[in-house]
Amino acid sequence: TEKKSLGFDRIHVRYFDQTIGDHPNTSDGPPISLDWKYEDGESLPVEEYENHRGRRRTLKEMTIGYYTRRNTLLWHYGYSESALKE
């Protein structure tokens, strides 16, 4: 039998806006989710991406605190205080 394989040769980066999310595991304040709107970024070979991407972040480093989430939604994306409380 013929052995099948799958490979990837390029990474296509997209920059997504953020929106108020609905994740139930947010302990305090509004959750953030990716919005449907995005801008296309660069396209580069997988090897180049892997050689320059830096170390992987820990779960703790990927956690976004209450004030950062709140201020991102208020100041960067223009949500109102009342929208954040809903």
**How confident is the model over 25-42, as pLDDT tens digits?**
887 888 999 999 999 999
Q: How confident is the model over 1-10, as a mean pLDDT?
A: 90
The rounded distance, in Å, linking the Cα atoms of 3 and 57 is 35
User: Looking at the predicted structure, is the pLDDT value of residue 48 above 90?
Assistant: yes
**Dist. CA 41–CA 83, nearest whole Å:** 30
pLDDT for res 40: 97
More confident residue, 25 or 52: 52
| Region 43-64 average pLDDT | 93
